Amino acid sequence: MRRNVSVAAWFVLLAVCIVLPFSSEDSQVLTIAIQTFILTALASSWNIIGGFAGQISLGHAAFFGMGTIITRELWLSGAPLPLSLAAAIVATALFALIIGVPMLRFRGIYFSIGTLALAVAISLTIGNLFPGITSMPVEALRAYTFTDPYFLALGAAVTTVAVAMLLRRSVVGLGMMAVRDDEAAAGAVGVDVLAHKLAAFAISAALAALAGGAFAFFSVSYYPSYPFTAVWSFETILVTFVGGIGTIVGPIAGSAFFVIGRDTIAANFEGFQVIGFGVLFIVVVLLVPGGMVEGAQRIGAWVVKQGQGRKRDVEG
C-alpha cells in the first residue's frame, strides 16, 4: 500500500511538472522551475558519489562545466543538440574514469581536497582559454522560448533521479553503500572497493554533464568558466545535505527549497542569501543530520504517535 502511494505521488509530481509550461506563461515561474530541475539533476548526481559511495567530492563542478562547454561548443558549431549532449556525457564519463583511478586511492579529506584542487585548476584553465562571453546567435535568440529548455532540464532531472532509484536497489548500488559504511568490511566480504568507487564517480560525472548540457541550452549568455566555479559544487553539497544525503527525495526537496528561497531572499534581503543558507546548513547538520527527509519522518512519526495516543484515550 505504502509503495503504491509513493509511486502515485511520483507520477502526480511529474504530471504537474509537464503541465506547468502549458498552464503558465510567467517567465519568472518557468525560470525558477528550470533552475530547480538543473540543480536537482546536479545534486542527485553528486548524491551518487557522496551519498551512496560516501566519497565527499568538492570538485563536482568540473563535470558540470565539462558537460556545459562541450554541449555548447558543439551545438553552436552546428551539431544537433542530442548528439552534442551525448558527446558531452561520454567525454565526461571517460574523463572521470581516467582521473578516478589515481584520485580514488586517496581517502577522506585528501580525496575532497584533491577533487577541489582539480576543479579549481580546470576552472582557471578554461577562464584563460575562453576569456570571452559565449552567446546564442541572433537567429537562435529570435526563436528562443522557455519550452524546449524547460523540458530538457526536466528530462535531465527525471533521468538522474531514475538512475539513482535503480542504482540504489541494484547489486552495484548495494556495493557502493557497503563501501560507504565500512570499506574494510566490504572488501573482506568480496566487494571490489575501488571498482565500486570508480563506478559511482563515473556515473555521477556523466549525470552532472547531463545537467551541464541542460544549463548550456537554457542560458542565453555566460562566461565559459562560470559553470566550472566552486559555487556549483558548494550549492550542490548544500542542497543535498539540507534535503537529505543518501536519499532519493532529499536532493529534490533541497533544490526546490534552495532555489525558491534564494530568489525570495535575494528579492527582499539582497546580500544576505549566502549568510542565511550558511546558517541553515549548520543548523541542519547539527540538529537534523538526515536533512528535510529525516525531519519530515520525525514529524510524521510524532503525528502518528499523537493520533494513537488520542485513540487509546477515547477507547479507554
Q: What is the pLDDT of residue 7?
A: 80
Q: What is the pLDDT of residue 158?
A: 97
pLDDT in tens, 44-101: 999 999 999 999 999 999 999 999 999 999 999 999 999 999 999 999 999 999 999 9
| DSSP state letters, 207-274 | HHHHHHHHHHHH-SEE-TTGGGSHHHHHHHHHHHHHH-TTSSHHHHHHHHHHHHHHHHHHHHSTT-HH
Query: Average per-residue pLDDT in the chain?
Result: 87
All three cell numbers of 77 = 558549431
How large is the average pLDDT for residues 217-238?
93
Environment class of residue 35 by beta-carbon count within 10 Å: exposed (0-12), middle (13-18) or buried (19+)?
A: buried
* Span of 54-63, 108-117, 256-265 with lowest mean pLDDT: 256-265
Distance in angstroms (rounded) separating the CA atoms of residues 127 and 36: 26
Residues 6+ apart with CB under 8 A from 309: none
Residue 283 pLDDT class (50, 70, 90 cuts): confident
What amino acid occupies position 18? Answer: I
The closest of 135, 41, 139 to 85, measured between CA atoms, is: 41
pTM listed for this prediction? 0.89
pLDDT in tens, 26-45: 788 899 999 999 999 999 99
Most confident of 169-178, 268-277, 282-291: 169-178
Q: What is the pLDDT of residue 302?
A: 64
In percent, the amount of the chain with pLDDT more than 70 equals 84
Q: What is the pLDDT of residue 304?
A: 60
pLDDT in tens, 159-202: 999 999 999 989 999 999 999 999 999 999 899 999 999 999 99
Residue 269 pLDDT class (50, 70, 90 cuts): low
Q: What is the pLDDT of residue 248?
A: 93
Q: What is the pLDDT of residue 287?
A: 72
Is-contact 121 228, C-beta < 8 A? no
Task: Say whether 189 sits in a helix, a strand or coil.
Answer: coil
Q: What is the pLDDT of residue 25?
A: 77
pLDDT higher than 60, residue 313: no
pLDDT higher than 70, residue 271: no
Q: What is the pLDDT of residue 274?
A: 61
Is-contact 47 191, C-beta < 8 A? no
Task: Say whether 68 sits in a helix, a strand or coil.
Answer: helix
Q: What is the pLDDT of residue 196?
A: 95
Residue 4 pLDDT class (50, 70, 90 cuts): low
Distance in angstroms (rounded) separating the CA atoms of residues 311 and 296: 22
pLDDT higher than 80, residue 281: no
pLDDT higher than 80, residue 125: yes
pLDDT higher than 80, residue 20: yes
